[in-house]
Chain A
Amino acid sequence: MAFLSNLVNGISLGSIYAIIALGYTMVYGIAKMLNFAHGDVIMVGAFIIFCGAQYWGLPPAVCILLAMLVCTVLGMTIEKLAYKPLRKAAGLAVLITAIGMSYLLQNTALLIWGANPKVFPGLFKLDTFRLFNGQLSIKPETLITILANIVIMVALTLFISRTKMGKAMRCVSEDRGAAELMGINVNRTISVTFAIGSALAAIAGWLLCSSYPQLMPTTGSMPGIKAFTAAVFGGIGSIPGAMLGGVLLGLIEIFGKAYISTELGDAIVFAVLIIVLLVRPTGLLGKPIREKV
């Protein structure tokens, strides 16, 4: 039974990583940049929901929609102000800017909401599922997260493969220069990518803080980095890969803590990142990159 409940906990944590990793992988796949501020957009989304539910007394669904709206605007603004001017610059410059943006968001949140941690309210009061005479309990948040993952994954895949905007995204991803020559508005496409990624961040913020109800300005940073690890593990740029990588990473973390040592939990997670990068640099489901010589 201990094994089963660890399995459930692992999937629960993993599905959170997966949903954050979706945002990472989506932006990387299309804009070809690592948006390290993603974890902090998640934190902002969670704070908006917290304020909506706790201070303004808004209904749960409105809170989530409001957070999605704020995060979308925030994501597009960040892209326009910080990343767009660097579109022609070296990849390293964009990466450093993203890290700077991450700290900017964290410290702004510190100014607005203070350093005191807050406990995130459960928006929907649902009962825990209990199986085997209550020996195994499954939190409803876990089920919602898994469901949200599947819905988002399918919707994103359909969007990218079926719509005109999706087609433009694939083109930009494949060859930005050629896409521009074919009359695709690259800036607008990347902007939309950020908008979608940031709206997903708001949902991820809600699910993260519902499962692990602790909210402070640094809430998004560690899950963000682990989700990035998950995205690389699954093959960055691949949407099913992000999901697979997330769930596997959650399982590795929980089983590592349960059966090896709680002290080594995080070490194991990042050791996995190193091993994957050594053995299979493109990740589990990543496309192999062919270098033309």
Chain B
Amino acid sequence: MKKLTALILALCLVLAASAALAEDLVLKIGHIGPQTGDAAVYGTATYRGAQIAADEISEADNGIKVIILNEDDSHDPEKSKNAYNSVMEQGAQMIVGTTTTGPCIEVGALAYEERVFMLTPSASSTQVTEGKDNVYQLCFTDPNQGSASAAVINERKLGTKIAVIYNNADAYSTGIYQTFIDKAKELGLEVVSTTTFTGETTDYSVQVAAAKDAGADLVFLPIYYTPASQILIAAKSIDYNPVFFGVDGMDGILTLEGFDTSLAEGVMLLTPFVADAKDERTQNFVAKYNELYKEVPNQFAADGYDCVYALVEAAKIAGVTSDAAAEDICDNLIAAMQQLKITGLTGTMTWSANGEVDKVPTAMVIKGGEYVGLDN
């Protein structure tokens, strides 16, 4: 008898649950990014971030359920197109992705033809959004970082004589350098030394000495953290202590194996997200991520998280229904994104018609081996 009661009760529960589910808005969001191969760290992070956001929204019990349909693309454009077809077959209504630039350009073209709305968490090239009205970016574009850096340096009077050391064999570094120089000229910042290196450079003494001899009191480093660490070491060996100012590629320098983090003391950088930020939302996210995956989330995880929230908000504005097909809601989502203003882990964001995000970059400084806000 007890068994029967339990069975009936369970049945009721299931019925109740499915009844509730039927009334809920169910959004199916595809996620495409590399989870194997060289770039696996990025796609894994954006997926985990997106999944955490989806779980949060679904558990909040306010009438919206989010289902993430995840596919791996190994940072390969062809595989990425297959991944795209796969998530679309599974009924995705919109896409978070793709994580990396190369595949995103190709999949973006496909999504443009088929009218599927895409929001990439981290593909930062301007080529990603160019000529496609339905592909949006959540991260800064490469050029944006350059002009934003120049603006911050100018506003806060961080340096009067500026040296730049960049990697002229790398599109990311060169892109940021170009816009930095243009903006610096516009603002009247004095750039006294510009030197370059490539991925194969062993010795950085000339570049650092050139900055020192030119009397630069700020060195702008639009580069990744690995060469940056070598530049800091080279500067230390000639007792040169200017302000070093980096961009999001600098993120990672504190966890570089074997690196003496005291050398990075006082290094400034522009980055949309730091795991050490003191606000409650970031702390909850970091705790949750740490609990699930046993590591500290990087900027990509935060980007993935924000993407899902942005899409859900846009879907609400656009009046998306559970059974709406991707191509029918695309134009409504585009219109909704224009009106959307949302605050996420990576700042407060609005979008322009060409799909680029507008958000205020946060300037951070390394103090005592940690990132802290420049104003703290």
Contacts and interface: CB of A to CB of B under 8 A. Distances in A.
A115 interface: yes
A291 interface: no
A221 B354 CA distance: 43
A119 B227 CA distance: 11
Contacts of B198: 266
Contacts of B260: 119
Contact of A2 (B197, B202, B209, B230): B209
B237 interface: yes
Contact of A262 (B196, B229, B237, B257): B196
A281 interface: no
A5 B233 contact: no
A253 B168 CA distance: 17
A214 B206 contact: no
A109 B251 CA distance: 25
Contacts of A223: 202
Contact of A222 (B202, B210, B259): B202
Contacts of A266: 198, 200
A213 B237 contact: no
Interface in A255-270: 257-258, 262-263, 265-266
Interface of A: 2, 5-6, 9, 12-13, 16, 50, 54, 115-121, 128, 130, 134, 137, 139, 208, 212-216, 221-223, 253-254, 257-258, 262-263, 265-266
Given A13-B203, A119-B229, A128-B237, A2 B257 contact: no
Interface residues of B, number: 28
Interface string B184-203: 00000000000111101111
B259 A9 contact: no
Given A213-B230, A214-B230, A266-B198, A116 B203 contact: no
Contacts of B200: 221-222, 266
5 contacts: A9-B209, A119-B256, A128-B237, A208-B202, A258-B209
B256 A258 contact: no
A212 B203 contact: yes
Contacts of A216: 226
B295 interface: no
Interface of B: 38, 168, 195-198, 200-203, 205-207, 209-210, 213, 226, 229-230, 233, 237-239, 256-260
B203 A9 contact: yes
Nearest to B224: A117
Which 10 pairs between the two chains have the least Cβ-Cβ distance?
A119-B258, A222-B200, A119-B259, A9-B205, A257-B206, A262-B195, A118-B257, A117-B226, A262-B196, A258-B206
Nearest to B258: A119
B203 A214 contact: no
A117 B224 CA distance: 11
Nearest to A225: B200
Nearest to A53: B258
A214 B229 contact: yes
* Residue with the highest number of chain B CB atoms closer than 10 Å, among A116, A137, A214, A258: A214
B257 A254 contact: no
Contacts of A254: 203, 205-206
A118 B258 contact: yes
Contacts of A115: 38
B353 to A, nearest CB: 38
Contact of B239 (A2, A117, A137): A137
A264 B258 CA distance: 31
Nearest to A17: B202
Nearest to A117: B226
A238 B238 CA distance: 35
From A50, A120, A212, name the one whose CB has the most chain B CB atoms within 10 angstroms: A212
Contacts of B195: 257, 262
Contacts of B197: 262
